[in-house]
Amino acid sequence: MKMISKMTLGLLTATLLMTGCGGDAKPETVQSEEKAVASVSEESLGLRKTDIYQEDDTTAAKTEYRMAQAGSSTKIKRAYQDAPPMIPHDVSDFLPITRENNMCVSCHAPDIAPAMGATPIPPSHFLDMRPRHICDGVKFKKRIDNMKNETSVKRLTHLSQARYNCSQCHAPQSQGNLSVENLFEANFTKKGGEYKSSWDEVVLDDLDTVGKDSRITSDDMDNSDSAAGHLDGGSH
C-alpha cells in the first residue's frame, strides 16, 4: 500500500512540472516553431517577392542594353584576364554579321580605328592557327606532330575567318537590375589587364611555331619538362 502511494505521488509531481503552475505555459520547442512560422511568408520564399499563386502582376526586370552610339561610349572592364571585351555601344544597326557585310570591321580595322576613335582589332585576330592537313579522299595525313609539341601559326594580311564573326565572342552588356548582386572580383595577372589582352604578347613573341624560325628545342620535343614524363614509346 505504501509503495502504491509513493508511485502516485511521483506521477503527480512529474505532471505538475511538465504543465507548470499557470496551466497556460507551452513547451519551449512549440514556442520556437510558432515564431519561425510567423517570420516566413510566401512572398519571401523566392527572388521575385510577389504572390506565388498569382502571375498577372509578376514581371521580370526589363533587360536593357547600352544605347550609347559607337564612338561616344565608355569601355567596359573585362570580366577576367583575357576575357573577350564587352561591346559598350548600341549594336542594333550592326547585326547580324553576314558574309557580305561586317559593320564591326568598318570601324575597328587597325588602319581605320585610330581615326574613328575605336579599339583596333588586335594582331592575334590576324593569325591562322589551323594547320592545313592533307586528305586525298582516301588517306589523311597531318601537317604537324602533336606528340612533338608542333603547332602551326601563320601571319595573315587579312582578318582570320575564325575571328570574322565578332558576335560569337563579343556581346553587348545588359543594364538590367540584378536580383542577386555579383560579388566576383577579377584578379588580373597583367598590368592593365582589365582593358588589355596578353594574347598579343604571347602569340607574337613567345609561341613556338613550326619551320626554320621555330624556337622548339630538342628538350621541348622530348617533353623533358613534362610532369607526366617522356613520351618515348609511352613509358612514363
Give the separation between CA 227 and CA 209, rounded to whole angstroms. Answer: 22
User: Is pLDDT at 108 greater than 90 in this prediction?
Assistant: yes
- Global pTM reads 0.59
pLDDT > 60? residue 24: no
d(CA 58, CA 35): 29
Those residues with Cβ within 8 angstroms of residue 180's Cβ, 6 or more apart along the chain or in another chain: 47
DSSP state of 163: G
What structural domains does the chain harbor? 63-179+191-225 (1.10.1130.10)
Q: Which residue has the higher pLDDT, 68 or 225?
A: 68
Q: Give the percent of the chain with pLDDT over 90.
A: 16
pLDDT band for position 200 (50/70/90)? Answer: low
Q: How does the average pLDDT of the chain come out, rounded? A: 74
Find residue 154's DSSP bridge partners: 128
Q: Report yes or no: 86 and 171 within 8 Å, Cβ to Cβ.
A: yes
Residue 1 pLDDT class (50, 70, 90 cuts)? very low
For residue 154, the surrounding DSSP H or E stretch is: strand 154-155
Structure-derived torsion over alpha carbons of residues 59, 63, 64, 65, reported in degrees to the nearest 10: 180
Residue 104 CB-half CA count within 13 A: 25
More confident residue, 208 or 27: 27
Instruction: State mean pLDDT over 204-218.
Output: 55
Cell, residue 215: 624556337
pLDDT above 70: residue 210: no
Grid coordinates of 21 = 503552475
pLDDT for the residue numbered 57: 73
